[in-house]
Amino acid sequence: MYLSTGMRRGEELGLRWQDIVFDQGTASIRQTITVIGAQAINHDSPKTKAGRRAVLMPTDTIAILRQHKALQNAHRLSIGPLWEDHDLVFRNLYGRPLHPRNLSRTYYAILKASGVPELRIHDKRHTHASWLLLAGQPIHTVSERLGHAKASITLDLRAHTLKNSQAEPAIAGKLLTTEDRKQGVF
């Protein structure tokens, strides 16, 4: 979901089914999974008010989540009383919170087995932001989607994406007539 939503790893791991409104295509970020010490997993609310947000998801992501929920329900029924219901979208085999380290380990093993070049999980969040900016989305919209407290944070992190974005305004400038330039229309 990183590529389609820009969520952080801890936000995705903390996502609960109750936080998803399938008909609206939204996921509300209300809790995250963090690691304290070597093993303890903590459910925590996002650090900032901006981090607590609703993220609109593409229809294909919603369809995949519907399938995932059906498979998860079947699995839950098959293991019966061993299941611990934490309502988590991404969980271990027994319904408990998935440790971020285990997610990373599985992710990199899948990349290696499939021959796909290694890309850090968090880099997919950056890719999502870059795609939005290159598609012309305003910086404040991208910042809100990513849960940044200020648009300046997004701008600092993604400024390199915008470096080549002057080509379009330069071309648009060529469209102005000589008369427009004489009248000061820029």
Say if domain 1-118 classifies as CATH 1.10.10.10.
no
Average pLDDT over residues 95-101: 91
CATH 1.10.443.10 domain range(s) in the chain: 1-118
- The answer for residues whose C-beta is within 8 angstroms of residue 132's C-beta and 6 or more apart is 6, 141, 142, 145
Distance in angstroms (rounded) separating the CA atoms of residues 40 and 25: 32
Give 117-122's long-range contacts (Cβ < 8 A, gap of 24+).
121/2, 121/9, 122/2, 122/8, 122/9
**Side-chain half-sphere CA neighbours of 50 within 13 A:** 14
Read off the pLDDT band of 176 (50, 70, 90): very low
- Give how far Cα 73 sits from Cα of 1, 44, 54, 69, 93, Å: 20, 25, 24, 6, 12
Q: What is the pLDDT of residues 35-94, one digit of tens each?
A: 887 765 777 788 788 889 999 999 999 999 999 999 999 999 999 999 999 999 999 999
Average pLDDT over residues 100-123: 90
Least confident range from 52-56, 101-105, 140-144, 178-182: namely 178-182
> Given this model, what pLDDT does residue 148 score?
84
Instruction: Give CA angle at 15 (10, 21), nearest 5°.
Output: 145
Distance in angstroms (rounded) separating the CA atoms of residues 122 and 70: 27
Distance in angstroms (rounded) separating the CA atoms of residues 38 and 52: 26
Percent of the chain with pLDDT over 90: 44
Strands (E) across the chain are located at 20-21, 26-28, 32-36, 40-44, 54-56
Least confident range from 15-29, 34-48, 109-123: namely 34-48
> Given this model, what pLDDT does residue 35 score?
84
Distance in angstroms (rounded) separating the CA atoms of residues 178 and 131: 35
From first CA to last CA, the distance across the chain in angstroms is 42
